[in-house]
Chains A and B, each alone.
Chain A
Amino acid sequence: MVEKLFIQGNEACALGAIKAGCRFFAGYPITPSTEVAENLARLLPKYGGSFVQMEDEISSMGAVIGASWGGSKAMTATSGPGISLMQENLGYAFMTETPLVIVNVQRGSPSTGQPTMASQSDMMQVRWGSHGDYEPIALSPSSVQEYFDFTIKAFNLSEKYRVPVFLMTEESIGHMREKISIPKSVDLVARKEPTMSPDEFLPFKNRKNATNPMPAFGDGYKVHVSGLTHNEIGYPDTNNPKTHAVLVKRLCNKILKNREKITSVKSEFTDDADVVVVCYGAPVRSVTTAVKEAREEGIKAGYLKINTPWPFPDDDVKAVCESAKDIIVPEMNLGQMVHEVERVFAGDAEVHLLSKIGGELPKPSEVLNAIKSVGGN
């Protein structure tokens, strides 16, 4: 049985979190993500979960990490300024391999910026914001249905790879109302429990391609979880260059080596396209219309929608856009993911940025004009 609802994006996210098994939410009110917190405050007590409103974003992130080690699937929702505050503890979550989900409903920035307007200005912040080398996973929905689906996907990915997963959406999707269908049951990835005895168990074992199982506190494994450079047992070993190299390389490789399994893209009309629009998030909605209109006018245009901005789907983007001479990247910032696209093509195709800031989505006509100006002749 499929349930049909007409709801707001942030509400769909809250429903998705409940479906995905999230039973802990800690957050701090911030426009435009507050509805996620409000809905979970209402829903979580009905499903045996806990909702805590913390004193700030720093402690929200801390509480979410604590709850994750306590054995709950945990999440928080915030916007750009909140992510800035969370970066410190996010680095800790990457270092200690704590699964959790962060919903980032992006708004106009820098600083307080435009609280009620959409933007995509945090794409690089979630990638490089905390100090050190790490590889995050980020998902970018472009409709309310996807916002719901990707919330479940985010929890599954975070449990599978033991990594914080960002759900990068925009104010426009967060506050948009659309019809969505909610499936009766969804596939969930449960956290992997250690099977060996506590004496043999190495919580941070250096495995080549697999993620370590994660016990909850109170299970008797007596794990020491530290943000310091730690060895396989979890003890701090800060002065040994080898320990640090092994640890940080493993943290990055567990994502990079599984890049094909994590990333997903969607493309249309790209087989023979001269112009390909590479897009993610809310602008996808305008791009689909514009590309269809361009095809009607006889321009060989196509589009590629990136569902997972991080890790960046290098191979998928390159394969799909093989025939293209021009690439257009519409973004609601002054150019962030365009650098990744340029890096992938490295001169094989000309990459054009279609940037629009101020809080409005790029209109289909603007995308169409851009397509015409680069490849319409």
Chain B
Amino acid sequence: MVDEIDEYTIDDDFEKPKRAKAPFIKYLREDRLPHIFCPGCGNGTIINTFFKGMEEANIDFENVAMVSGIGCSSRIPGYIKCDSLHTTHGRALSFATGLKVSNPDLDVVVFTGDGDCASIGGNHLIHAARRNINLTVICINNNIYGMTGGQISPTSPKGSYGSTAPYGNRDKPFHLAELVAAAGATYVARWTTVQVESAAKSIEKGLKNKGFSFIEIVSQCPTYFGRKNKMKTPVKMMDHIKNSTIYINNTKLMSEHELADKIVVGEFVDKSAPEFTDNLQELSKENYGDKTLRRSAFLKNFDENKE
């Protein structure tokens, strides 16, 4: 039997010991915390997951640049202490392409959501995957447009409710991991916020992979998706996600009908293929004799003899 405590009191004068900060706070812009995400939102979990994957992959945090579009998930780079571009709706991947080509030494990470990358940015998504450019895309799929107030998204399951689907969604949802795999990405995985360790492992693999890496993380939105679909609390949503998850190796004998309500998790693609910026560097070496110029805007004189 556990003693019950009535109130958890903290003195105002109480000076918190230095080590009382969660392990990944040191990567965050502390002056902006707490972040704007609703209680129980999966985005915060995915921040932790990313850092765990980053540490496991031995990536230098100083070398990480983040790009995001518009939406709840795209607010993440704003809380991380790194160079970050918070761009226009759906266009994050095109900005990231320019940034990566301009400076291929950077580890460019793109945080995006389901509405951002599957709906308005669908074209950019498949073309970035086709080019196999060395980006790590973390797509937080919460099946709904959270920031604008719970409209259904291209990944909302059939029959789910949203503020623009008051009678239930009748459209067939997009399966993003399968889509990106078909478009030519070299690392594709899907996990949920329940399998944080697996997701961190996939992020590690994605960061190490030289090519387009797409990690879709199915997340909970208790405020909008949950409230409209009879799962008001984060815990209930997590239970729902947990119960509808099925591992990819177990799906081989299942029919499409059986899989309709399931979330298939696992690694979809893990291969290697020629990378876009590598090709550009090769071209530069053939024609210019060296890798492409970095930070050319800061140069006052250009070596004209090199031709």
Contact = CB atoms under 8 A, between A and B. Distances in A.
B is bound to A:
yes
A128 interface: no
A227 interface: yes
A62 B293 contact: no
A327 to B, nearest CB: 40
B123 A55 contact: yes
Contact of B97 (A21, A45, A59, A236): A59
Q: Chain A interface residue count: which class?
A: 35 or more
Interface stretch (A71-79, A172-180, A268-276, A279-287): A71-79
Say what secondary structure dominates the interface of chain A: mixed
Interface in A159-207: 159, 188, 190-191, 193
B296 A21 contact: yes
Contact of A48 (B106, B127, B290): B290
B124 interface: yes
Interface in A66-118: 66-74, 88-89, 91-92, 99
Contacts of B300: 188, 190
B199 to A, nearest CB: 25
Contacts of A221: 83
Nearest to B120: A58
Contacts of A220: 62
Nearest to B95: A66
Contacts of A54: 94, 97, 127
A190 B84 CA distance: 23
Given A220-B62, A224-B86, A227-B88, A71 B297 contact: yes
B91 interface: yes
B102 interface: yes
B99 interface: yes
Given A48-B284, A48-B290, A99-B297, A66 B78 contact: no
Given A224-B78, A236-B78, A191 B86 contact: no
7 contacts: A58-B91, A59-B94, A71-B295, A217-B103, A223-B84, A224-B86, A227-B87
Given A65-B98, A188-B301, A217-B83, 20 more contacts: A47-B302, A49-B284, A49-B292, A59-B97, A65-B85, A65-B87, A65-B95, A66-B85, A68-B297, A70-B102, A71-B298, A72-B293, A73-B297, A88-B88, A89-B87, A89-B88, A92-B88, A99-B297, A217-B85, A236-B86
Interface of B: 29, 32, 62-63, 65, 67, 77-78, 81-88, 91, 93-103, 105-106, 123-124, 127, 280, 283-284, 286-288, 290-302, 306-307
